[in-house]
Structure 1
Amino acid sequence: MYQELAKQHRTFDNVEHLNYAVRKHLYHNKHQLSQTAIDVFKLLARHAVKYIGVAYLKIDTIAKAIGKHRSTVMRALKVLAELNIIEKLTQYRPKTGGNGANIYVIQRYKPMQGEVKNSAENANATPSVQLRNEAKNTVVASVDSPKTVTETEIPKSINKVLERIRSTTPYSEFKNWVNAYVKDNKLTNKLYGIYKAQTHYIKGAYDAELLLHVGIQAIKTTFNATKSKNVKSITGYFNGVLDKLLDRIYYSYIGQDCII
């Protein structure tokens, strides 16, 4: 039933069109969105890849994922709907009664006057090429300190890095980078588990090599930070850096001020 509804309400032809709408919605509504609303919207966007633009989630699932009470999530969803960023389609259980998981449809962004040309140009760009170009100038904020370019800048030789990644398995490449800083298989497996969890819902949307490169950059940023900071939890720090780095690549061409 969900699959049929998702197909009916699919709002985008491809992932780059979805990405463009998400970036624009965040940028032009940033002053009206709370951090919770932003977090909820990002979560919906990450779950809206299989049926592009459509996410199927229970409120309790959203609340648990972002660490907020369900009533707070409900208010955030209401704001997103009022701003025409999403449309909520309530689903009912035909046999047992009551509400099931809701379907959330991310709406197309309607360009303001003067934006139409740029909208078309960005919509027609292929995701892999666009993301590689964006990654060259991407800067990530560390979890507990101001942003520093030297610590988190993705190297401009990204194509060489991607070529090397293609020649080995993802886990082997990931492990090699962790081993460059510390030989700890248990820690390596925990970090790789975090990487897999964070990229699970977008792995079909972007090149696997590019996502792995992002994971490697998060490793470098995390372990470099331990040299100058009191990092209490390497796994927690890595999780935060990876999340921010994925967001930076996801939204970067609009500018850093669109990520609150």
Structure 2
Amino acid sequence: MYTYLKNYTHFSTKEELDAATNLHIAKNYNHLNSTDRTVLDTIRRYSVKYGSAHLKAETIGKAIKKSESTVRRAIRKLEKLSIIERIPYVRPVLSGLGANVYSILPINEQAEMNTPSKAEEANDGKNQANNSADEPLFIKSNNKDLKETYPAEKMPLTLFERMKSILSSTIGDVALARKLFGIHRYHSLKLLMFSIYSDKEELFDELALRALHITVQKTKQKTIHNMAGYYSGVLNKLIDETLFSDTFHFYDKPADQFFYK
């Protein structure tokens, strides 16, 4: 049932997965709090059988007794540190909406993605001086970025820039990003004004990116004449299922009738 997860793994054995996880923790220890490490270990444990894990933030939160917002913050940090990869997964049920696939990255990918600053390179020189001639290449190739924290030069600084990056590398229509970002703001701001949702801005950003990934993937399956409209529908569905799936609805009209078309 979950054999598709093997398509996202970067390791051949459980031992390789465990070793990479331990190295990630050791290299980034000062930048990871106990919750970050616990979230990473939870992803590792769920990944043991197939090499990657298909999880909801809610599932991880229940496993470690933390809130979903706390789990999402930890996941975002692990992504920024290039420790894990988050892959939006489109399922053939539930309108294509589902949990994310999480894959722990091998250490050598982190070395390729990160570019140390001059100050970091000066510190790294102390580490590199201890390398022996027969040191494994797997370790040697990564000593130069032991001090690297957030690879900002490789990660867009804003949600809008991330959306532009995704569109540029997929359908090539960068101009569409501004329209889709506006749709995201339209949906999210209406809810952020309520105190119950005021702390969920990161969640809305995550849903905006997830909706974009789903929309882009759908363009590979069929022609979408109104990308903005399709994206709005997917995002609205994601927000509804994430926030209101367990809520009793008092209205006799579909929720999407309260949004513009």
User: TM-score higher than 0.5 here?
Assistant: no
Q: TM-score, normalised by structure 1?
A: 0.42
Name which one, 1 or 2, has greater alpha-carbon Rg: 2
Q: TM-score, normalised by structure 2?
A: 0.41
Q: Answer 1 or 2: higher relative contact order, Cα 8 Å, separation at least 6.
A: 1
